[in-house]
Structure 1
């Protein structure tokens, strides 16, 4: 790998340009001084949420910290397609016959499968036309069509945030909320807020994300004991609150949320509800991510080593496990193990790997920790679009 300014070095440089100490930056970002120091020194690979908090504290966009990278053009060519899919909810014309809602439902099921399998290019190929068909169907069929449309907008959000377009991600979530409200499904709306909280955290609005999650949990709490799907969404909201709290260095609050998620998840089981992976296995993955962002490297590695992933878990979630395991090893200054985890992530989801800022940050951190970049690290860097 060519020497490039690491994310941590950029953080340190901009912090100093702002006349800020690490203590001041940590306080403003809601993080710990220890974690800021480790990120700057190349001893920790920050998550997208932690980077968002640091960028917000420095008054810059996250891309200023991640720096210019070789863009995965085949993926970024989809951006105009995403913009078209999100452009309007009422300004469209359809010349042909509208498809039956049963056919549209089958297409959305396929779209959701592609999303969980990180087949982003396939999503981009069908997105605009499917959105228009579902908008048309909403006029005729009402709530069922709007529920399908919400899932389609969720796929738009996935593409937008994986490619690093925060503005498009927020627009997609606005559209998803619009459709969820018209679906009449309170749990679908709660799932939208689960996603919105992550988007808020990625732009440094972690406190607002927690307020949104708290409000949403209060709204569905009466149904948790009587509705298994409500219990599943409840666990997802607590998982998200656990990781957001971790980026804000609130270990106690993070633990409380993750323990509540784990408690209810035992009765929920490992499954997909409202297109969201839930259950004990996924709670464990969130716990690993939270431990890393809290700077608890030993616990994060221990959790990662003892985790057995369900065979039918979505590729997207498996990839996140390997990325967070890599970050855990980097926090323990073990770049060789981290690189092995990154190889696993690439094998599972090459499109995700190519687009992910978390991947690039982890690779740069691994390079900083290795005295001399190995062939394996150089190969992964090429796969991620980092200049060799």
Structure 2
């Protein structure tokens, strides 16, 4: 595993940070635009902390979103790999001799994309430093757009890994280098870099800024991409826009991006993977579920999940895990505690490493353990998997 998390989780962090600022619940609730009742329930574990509310609280307290949600600490065994990774990033413009040829790099990149799809965070981290160094050195030697696309893809995976753990300084650095590599790469790489850049705005809680990045990138994609790549690039941008708008509680903007994403997805008979990212009708549906929950349209989320239950998904674990977490969020919001526990257990089964570090999983487990005032064998089993007392 790439890190350990200490419960009770993000919601109680709010109380700790609020008290550190010397602020009462009423003052914070007023500044964040939420009710005192909701804030109190979040702090004591009767309600989950959504990332939209967390962003408002973070801004009101003068913290970043990742500080409120809590960064995943780096395990001592992984400190060396993180140091190697930062070293490889630092040497972006100081190339050495590559240790792998083009075909070997393609194979190594394919393997790390497979691990990413499986939500194997530890496996990804173990291979990233060497692959990043070799891909960068190789691109400097051959200078071809395809080689620089591989570099951009590796940086996209660095961003993905860092964002999962909320190591936002590393995520920020990764997308900066990704954008530099994409300037020398194939056109689609630049669009994916913009998508990941918008992701850093999402992770920092600047949802409006992220939407501005998406809108700019959509114009760029419409200009530089053609055919299948144009549909794919625009599709993944609109999915990012839908998520950002949902966190911002902007139903009109979320609907606009949802409509455009579906328009692109309708051109795909099934989901396609490119550069380590999936797009098509299935991934669009998973984003609809997540955004419906963020907008507190829980009935819509459950309706979308009904469609999924009749048509099992072919998406990788990195998408299935968060989908099950969002299903759990919707069920818990509607008072279905047992159903919420079912879905959270499914998320742990699909992607255990991701579930351990994901703030939605942490919050769901915190609240479920809080509101179950009696022994619950299934919950005790899940709490044991998460390494928390119950």
Alignment TM class, shorter chain as reference: 0.7 to 0.9
Q: Partner of 2:61 in structure 1?
A: 58
From the superposition, tell whether residues 303 and 176 of structure 1 become closer, same or farther in structure 2 (CA, over 3 Å).
Answer: same
Q: Partner of 2:279 in structure 1?
A: 278
Instruction: Give the 3-state SS of the residue equivalent to 2:103 in structure 1.
Output: helix
Larger deviation, residues 189-198 vs 67-76: 67-76
Q: Partner of 1:335 in structure 2?
A: 337
Gaps of 5+ in 2: 1-5
Structure 2 CA distance for aligned equivalents of residues 41 and 72 of structure 1: 28
Gaps of 5+ in 1: none
Report the CA distance between 1:162 and its aligned residue: 1.6
C-alpha contact 2:7 2:362 (8 A) present in aligned 1: no
Cα deviation, 1:95-137, whole Å, max 9, x if unaligned, reads xx64221111111111111111112222222222222211221
Structure 2 CA distance for aligned equivalents of residues 234 and 34 of structure 1: 41
Instruction: Give the 3-state SS of the residue equivalent to 1:267 in structure 2.
Output: coil
- Written as runs of structure 1 = structure 2, the 5 A alignment for 1:73-222 is 78-91=81-94, 93-94=96-97, 98-142=99-143, 143-183=145-185, 185-222=186-223
Q: Quick check: 1:24 aligned with 2:31?
A: yes
Q: Partner of 2:357 in structure 1?
A: 355
From the superposition, tell whether residues 250 and 336 of structure 1 become closer, same or farther in structure 2 (CA, over 3 Å).
Answer: same
Structure 2 CA distance for aligned equivalents of residues 69 and 132 of structure 1: 25
Q: Higher relative contact order by CA 8 Å / sep ≥ 6: 1 or 2? A: 1
Q: Partner of 1:256 in structure 2?
A: 256
Q: Partner of 1:302 in structure 2?
A: 303
Larger deviation, residues 362-371 vs 248-257: 362-371
Larger deviation, residues 38-47 vs 201-210: 38-47
Instruction: Give the 3-state SS of the residue equivalent to 2:308 in structure 1.
Output: coil
Which of 8, 11, 34 is the equivalent residue of 2:11? 8
From the superposition, tell whether residues 22 and 53 of structure 1 become closer, same or farther in structure 2 (CA, over 3 Å).
Answer: closer
C-alpha contact 1:72 1:385 (8 A) present in aligned 2: no
Structure 2 CA distance for aligned equivalents of residues 134 and 67 of structure 1: 32
Structure 2 CA distance for aligned equivalents of residues 66 and 372 of structure 1: 28
Q: Partner of 2:3 in structure 1?
A: none
Number of residue pairs matched by the alignment: 378
RMSD: 2.9
From the superposition, tell whether residues 384 and 137 of structure 1 become closer, same or farther in structure 2 (CA, over 3 Å).
Answer: same
Structure 2 CA distance for aligned equivalents of residues 242 and 88 of structure 1: 35
TM-score (norm 1): 0.86
Report the CA distance between 1:26 and its aligned residue: 3.0
Structure 2 CA distance for aligned equivalents of residues 250 and 209 of structure 1: 13
From the superposition, tell whether residues 295 and 11 of structure 1 become closer, same or farther in structure 2 (CA, over 3 Å).
Answer: farther
Q: Partner of 1:370 in structure 2?
A: 372
C-alpha contact 1:367 1:373 (8 A) present in aligned 2: no
Larger deviation, residues 113-122 vs 165-174: 113-122
Structure 2 CA distance for aligned equivalents of residues 43 and 196 of structure 1: 34
Structure 1 CA distance for aligned equivalents of residues 268 and 63 of structure 2: 40
Structure 2 CA distance for aligned equivalents of residues 68 and 145 of structure 1: 33
Structure 2 CA distance for aligned equivalents of residues 103 and 179 of structure 1: 20
Instruction: Give the 3-state SS of the residue equivalent to 1:295 in structure 2.
Output: coil
